[in-house]
Amino acid sequence: MTLYQPFLDYALTQLEQSLNLSPYPIPDGFTQKQGTMGKGQRQEDVITTSYGFKADKLRQIRAAHVQGGAALQVLNFVIFPELAYDLPFFGADLVTLPGGHLIALDMQPLFHHQAYQDRYTKPLLPVFHQYQQQLPWGGDFPEEAKPFFSPCFLWTRPQETEKVETLVFEAFKAYLQVYLQFVDQAEPVQDANRQHEILQAHRCYAQYRAAKDPARGMFTRLYGSEWTEEYIHGFLFDLERQLAATC
């Protein structure tokens, strides 16, 4: 059992129980991909497995799970709501590299105004504060990424793997529970201006993440740049492609 498998299993079980899930198509050649990292005795097989679902209010629920031995484990798990809802994105970037663990967990907001924060940040604040005490701020991260995070951004670099298995896992579960409540309560937005603002916020987010994907270097080394760009634009952050296909 690798470090982030329980996170993935938990999330998929919870989603199955509370939503009407159906498969989200994964382009050919991207469901599972194998490569190698390192040389000689330190060579490791690295397998990237993709998961995709959708639900009534959620356009795409997708995970990329990278398993390459004790020093390379990644679970990137993002939920992209349907454009008719003002729901935030659920975003988890759980990364273990030779240098240590790097954890980013958030409900990434579409907007920053007070009414939006009252609705989608306030209910999560107690959970955030509870875990932040034991999982201190992870330090610098890209300035340009800041608009995409909420005040409940849990960003931490735990020294001990045990903290990932316990505290980080608990925080992940708690964030997902709150998110599922938001999904349950969400009503479609009727106002055309507001719908347009939602669309723009989704486009900005997807464009930013596709352009700045911190995994680009890793994937390119493992699987080449053609595979990597197609994976990023055709699956991980596919909104532009989806919009182009339906126009």
Which residues sit at the interface with ligand DBV, rule CB under 6 A?
A: 64, 74, 76, 91, 93, 95, 97, 102, 104, 141-142, 145, 148, 209, 213-215, 217-218, 236
**What does the DSSP 8-state code read for residue 133?**
T
State the nearest-atom distance from the C-beta of 75 to ligand DBV, in Å. Answer: 8
Q: Which is nearer to ligand DBV, 6 or 18 (CB)?
A: 6
Q: Which is nearer to ligand DBV, 87 or 102 (CB)?
A: 102
Q: Which is nearer to ligand DBV, 18 or 71 (CB)?
A: 71
State the nearest-atom distance from the C-beta of 212 to ligand DBV, in Å. Answer: 6
Q: Which is nearer to ligand DBV, 39 or 146 (CB)?
A: 146
- What distance in Å separates the CA atoms of residue 145 and residue 206, rounded to the nearest whole number? 12
Token pair of 130, please?
A: 């509870």
- What distance in Å separates the CA atoms of residue 158 and residue 155, rounded to the nearest whole number? 10
State the nearest-atom distance from the C-beta of 39 to ligand DBV, in Å. Answer: 18
State the nearest-atom distance from the C-beta of 13 to ligand DBV, in Å. Answer: 21
- What distance in Å separates the CA atoms of residue 21 and residue 92, rounded to the nearest whole number? 20
CA 46 vs CA 50, 73, 192, 219: distances in Å: 13, 9, 46, 10
Token pair of 47, please?
A: 């397998």
Q: Which is nearer to ligand DBV, 64 or 186 (CB)?
A: 64
Q: Which is nearer to ligand DBV, 18 or 37 (CB)?
A: 37
State the nearest-atom distance from the C-beta of 32 to ligand DBV, in Å. Answer: 14
- Dihedral sign, CA of 206, 208, 214, 220? positive
Looking at the DSSP assignment, which residues form a beta bridge with residue 94? 75, 103
Q: Which is nearer to ligand DBV, 91 or 158 (CB)?
A: 91
State the nearest-atom distance from the C-beta of 99 to ligand DBV, in Å. Answer: 8
State the nearest-atom distance from the C-beta of 61 to ligand DBV, in Å. Answer: 14
Token pair of 211, please?
A: 């352009």
Reduced DSSP (H G I as helix, E B as strand, rest coil) percent helix, strand, coil of the chain, to 5: 45, 25, 30
Residue 16 phi/psi, 5-degree rounding, is: -60, -40
Q: Using alpha carbons, select from 202, 160, 192, 159 the residue that is nearest to residue 58.
A: 202
Token pair of 93, please?
A: 């970037």
